[in-house]
């Protein structure tokens, strides 16, 4: 960033110059307002730091003159030792962006750093590659606006009518929608906004910036009630428009990042990292939903419990590292051999559970025996591994608690072990007694 510094004090001139240089910014320093205005004519700047007291006018007077005479409006930070609250309030009302007190050197350097760092960090580099859907039927306005958006490193899809834009929103995701309120076609900008908020994909929460030639309070209220996040009046002020776009896209990308992190944390909480299967927490959450779905739609639901035979002996003989390899390979095998709608979980040690919707007892027994044979044939790490499998099923229309279903399958596993292991056994669950009416 290029910063214009207007400061009388040699100490603060040097301090600001060193601070800005260390932050990677470039400073042009003058000690009076006249030279400041000349510098603004000759060079492009991104921000201004001005002292309250200059040799030819005050920092507030400089700001008032600058705000009145310059089309490009830069953020201005006032550097002062004044403590008069009314004076400082007046400075803000007259065009100062922020105020930095000289009385505390640490606070002074920290606030200057934060001010400039936020400005430079709140730019196009943070929103690069953001995707914008833009609706505007005036090609002259559209070309100018698209140029501004592309200068912010945004990818723009432009439509002249809202209906075509809406069709794309049902298929592709965007980080911002910008729409004129009055556009050609049967759908207005407000109609597009309402339609977006009714979507059932990720675009339902996309930020919307409305562009309008109206600026009365009732129209603004109508825009916000329809679901827009912000609005700008026509003709747009380039710097203000860029700031609003940057704000909306930055917040959207930050929200996406937080949401992605939450999803990853949820996956971690619900997954068994060793095997890639779901864990006991996930089973406790989803099993009741599987049962409720089976009852509501009147279909079979089977449950399979798989217990690896003599697994403790593998750990004791070959070590826990080899035991982990065996468990990892079993998890991969179970996930590979299961359908997309099946739910595979490791519930502890060498024990796995598979929920099988739309699977009757005969089908479940057949699947279990095929799986038993594949486990025996897999030979993870060159070891012969077998499993005792228990199967139970909830028949169509039966009301069974998950605890009863699991208890029945667990009992079936015990029976398989009693029968010599490496086999499959079915055991029916206890049926809930219907409530009297």
pLDDT at position 120, please? Answer: 54
The domain made up of 2-121 has a fold known as: Rossmann fold (3.40.50)
Domain chopping of the chain, boundaries: 2-121, 126-261, 280-426
Which residues does 334 contact at the CB level (< 8 Å), separation at least 6?
275, 277, 306, 344, 352, 354, 371
- pLDDT tens for 130-168 read 999 999 999 999 999 999 999 888 999 999 999 999 999
Alpha-carbon span 421 to 410, nearest angstrom: 14
pLDDT at position 86, please? Answer: 84
Q: Helix, strand, or coil here: 52?
A: coil
CA dihedral 214, 217, 218, 221 (to 10 degrees): 100
Whether 341 contacts 358, CB under 8 Å: yes
Q: Output the CA angle 200-241-233, nearest 5 degrees.
A: 85
Neighbours of 92 (CB within 10 A): 13
The list of the chain residues with pLDDT below 50 reads 121-125, 433-437
Which residues does 237 contact at the CB level (< 8 Å), separation at least 6?
73
| Tally of residues, the chain | 437
CA-closest candidate to residue 126, choices 263, 261, 228, 257 = 257
Q: Helix, strand, or coil here: 212?
A: strand
CA-closest candidate to residue 78, choices 61, 57, 100 = 100
The CATH code of domain 126-261 reads: 3.40.50.2300
Whether 268 contacts 332, CB under 8 Å: no
Whether 345 contacts 286, CB under 8 Å: no
Which run of H or E residues covers position 29?
strand 26-30
pLDDT at position 200, please? Answer: 86
361-400 burial: b if 16+ Cβ within 10 Å, else e:
beebbebbeebbeebeeeebeeeebebbbbbbbbbeebeb
CATH 3.30.70.270 assigned to domain 280-426? The reply is: yes
Q: Identical fold at 126-261 and 280-426? A: no
Alpha-carbon span 207 to 255, nearest angstrom: 11
- Helices marked H in 137-229 — which ranges? 139-151, 162-169, 189-197, 217-226
Backbone torsion region of residue 208, taken as left when φ is above 0, otherwise alpha when ψ lies between -120 and 50, otherwise beta: beta
User: Locate tokens 């920290």: which residue?
Assistant: 110
Alpha-carbon span 184 to 407, nearest angstrom: 65
Cis upstream peptide for 235 (omega within 30°): yes
3-state secondary structure 227-254: CCCEEEECCCCHHHHHHHHHHHHHHHHH
């Amino acid at each position: 960033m290029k910063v214009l510094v207007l400061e009388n004090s040699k100490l603060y001139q040097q301090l600001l110059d060193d601070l800005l240089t260390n932050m990677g910014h470039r400073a042009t320093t003058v000690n009076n307002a006249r030279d400041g205005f000349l510098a603004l004519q000759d060079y492009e700047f991104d921000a201004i730091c001005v002292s309250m007291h200059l040799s030819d006018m005050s920092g507030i007077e400089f700001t008032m003159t600058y705000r009145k005479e310059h089309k490009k409006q830069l953020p201005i930070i006032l550097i002062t030792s004044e403590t008069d609250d009314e004076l400082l309030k007046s400075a803000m009302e007259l065009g100062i962006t922020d105020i930095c007190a000289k009385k505390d050197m640490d606070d002074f350097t920290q606030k200057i750093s934060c001010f400039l760092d936020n400005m430079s960090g709140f730019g196009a580099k943070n929103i690069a590659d953001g995707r914008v859907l833009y609706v505007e039927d005036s090609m002259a306005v559209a070309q100018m606006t698209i140029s501004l958006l592309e200068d912010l490193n945004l990818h723009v899809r432009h439509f002249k009518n809202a209906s075509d834009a809406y069709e794309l929103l049902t298929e592709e995701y965007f980080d911002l929608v910008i729409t004129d309120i009055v556009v050609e076609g049967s759908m207005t900008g407000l109609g597009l906004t309402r339609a977006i908020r009714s979507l059932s994909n990720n675009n339902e929460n996309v930020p919307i910036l409305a562009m309008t030639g109206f600026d009365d309070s009732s129209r603004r209220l109508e825009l916000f009630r329809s679901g827009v996040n912000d609005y700008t009046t026509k003709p747009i002020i380039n710097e203000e428009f860029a700031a609003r776009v940057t704000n909306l896209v930055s917040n959207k990308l930050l929200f996406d990042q937080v949401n992605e992190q939450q999803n990853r944390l949820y996956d971690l909480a619900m997954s068994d990292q060793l095997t890639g299967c779901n864990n006991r927490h996930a089973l406790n959450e989803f099993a009741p939903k599987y049962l409720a779905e089976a009852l509501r739609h009147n279909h079979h639901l089977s449950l399979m419990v798989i217990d690896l035979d003599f697994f403790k002996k593998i750990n004791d003989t070959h070590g826990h590292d080899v035991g982990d390899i065996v468990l990892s390979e079993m998890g991969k095998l179970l996930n590979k051999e299961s359908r997309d709608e099946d739910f595979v979980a490791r519930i502890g040690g060498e024990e796995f559970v598979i929920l099988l919707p739309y699977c009757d007892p005969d089908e479940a027994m057949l699947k279990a025996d095929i799986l038993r044979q594949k486990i025996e044939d897999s030979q993870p790490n060159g070891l012969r591994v077998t499993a005792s499998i228990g199967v139970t099923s909830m028949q169509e229309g039966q009301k069974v608690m998950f605890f009863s279903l699991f208890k029945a399958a667990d009992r079936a596993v015990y029976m398989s072990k009693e029968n010599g292991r490496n086999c499959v056994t079915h055991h029916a669950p206890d049926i809930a007694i219907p409530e009297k009416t």
